[in-house]
Amino acid sequence: MKAVRNTLRITLLALGIFTARADETEAAKADQARLQGEWTMLSGERDGQAFPAARLKDSKRVAAGDTTTVTIQGQLFMKAKFTLDPAKNPKAIDYAVTAGPYEGSRQLGIYEFDGDKVKFCFAVPGKERPDDFSTKQDDGRTLSVWKREQPASSKESK
């Protein structure tokens, strides 16, 4: 009887773990779907210094599947494969950088949605993941806020 109870406990524990992982996977898929498409940078800062307005002009982020491409003033700034962990607080995002200044490295960050906006805070490669959405002098963090572009059909109907 004791063996049956232990088997039942193990089965229930495994089922609980499987269900939790399935929920985490679904949450990651939902957040990945929310990131898809084209985004325009609204604001940004690095090491406590705000980006100049000229840098914001024509700055785009395009997510397709698990890849994001960032262009600044029409020039490729970075391309990366990304993975999400929305179960963490704040939500975590990891980049495997495939093009740009940090090509071949891994960058750790956090993200947060606010309606049609998303906010990111990333550490430079080799630094720990940020635990909040802030930057200060020489901390190696970049904070950026992006707004989703309206699909072409929405722009035309206005």
Give the largest Cα separation in the chain, rounded. Answer: 73
Closest by alpha carbon to 117, among 147, 86, 151, 91? 147
Measured between alpha carbons, how far is 144 from 148 in angstroms, rounded to an integer? 13
How many Cβ atoms sit within 10 Å of the Cβ of residue 115?
7
In a domain, 25, yes or no: no
Does some domain include residue 56? yes
Classified as helix, coil or strand, 74 is coil
The domain containing residue 65 runs over which residues?
A: 32-149
Q: With respect to residue 157, please indicate whether it lies within any of the assigned structural domains.
A: no
Residue 13 lies in a domain: no
| pLDDT tens per residue, range 69-112 | 999 988 999 999 999 999 999 999 999 999 999 999 999 999 99
Overall domain count for the chain: 1
What per-residue string of b and e applies to 125-153 under the rule 16 or more CB within 10 Å gives b?
A: eeeebbeebebeeeeebbbbbbebbeeee
Q: Where are the alpha helices (DSSP H) in the chain?
A: 2-35, 53-56, 152-156
The model carries a pTM of 0.79
Structure confidence by residue, pLDDT tens digits, 21-77: 444 588 899 999 999 999 999 999 999 999 988 888 889 999 999 999 999 988 999
Query: Is there a contact between 153 and 48 (Cβ–Cβ < 8 Å)?
Result: no
24 in any annotated domain: no
Q: What is the CATH number of the domain that holds 53?
A: 2.40.128.280
Q: Is residue 27 part of a domain?
A: no
pLDDT at residue 152 is higher than 60: no
pLDDT of residue 9: 59
Residue 3 lies in a domain: no
Task: Identify which has the larger pLDDT, 119 or 21.
Answer: 119
The answer to whether residue 19 is domain-embedded is no
